[in-house]
A and B are shown apart, each in its own frame.
Chain A
Amino acid sequence: GAVVSQHPSRVICKSGTSVKIECRSLDFQATTMFWYRQFPKKSLMLMATSNEGSKATYEQGVEKDKFLINHASLTLSTLTVTSAHPEDSSFYICSARAASGEGTGELFFGEGSRLTVL
Chain B
Amino acid sequence: AQTVTQSQPEMSVQEAETVTLSCTYDTSESDYYLFWYKQPPSRQMILVIRQEAYKQQNATENRFSVNFQKAAKSFSLKISDSQLGDAAMYFCAYRSAFSGNTPLVFGKGTRLSVIA
Contacts and interface: CB of A to CB of B under 8 A. Distances in A.
A93 interface: yes
Given A32-B101, A107-B104, A91 B43 contact: yes
Contacts, number: 60
Given A32-B100, A43-B106, A51-B101, A106 B91 contact: no
B78 interface: no
A49 B101 contact: yes
A87 interface: no
Contacts of B107: 43
B33 interface: yes
B103 A112 contact: no
A107 B106 CA distance: 13
B50 A46 contact: no
Contact of A112 (B33, B44, B100): B44
A109 B44 contact: yes
B100 A99 contact: yes
Nearest to A93: B45
A34 interface: yes
A43 B94 CA distance: 13
A64 to B, nearest CB: 17
A102 B100 contact: yes
Interface of A: 31-32, 34, 38, 41-44, 46, 49, 51, 91, 93, 95, 97, 99, 102, 104-107, 109, 111-112, 114
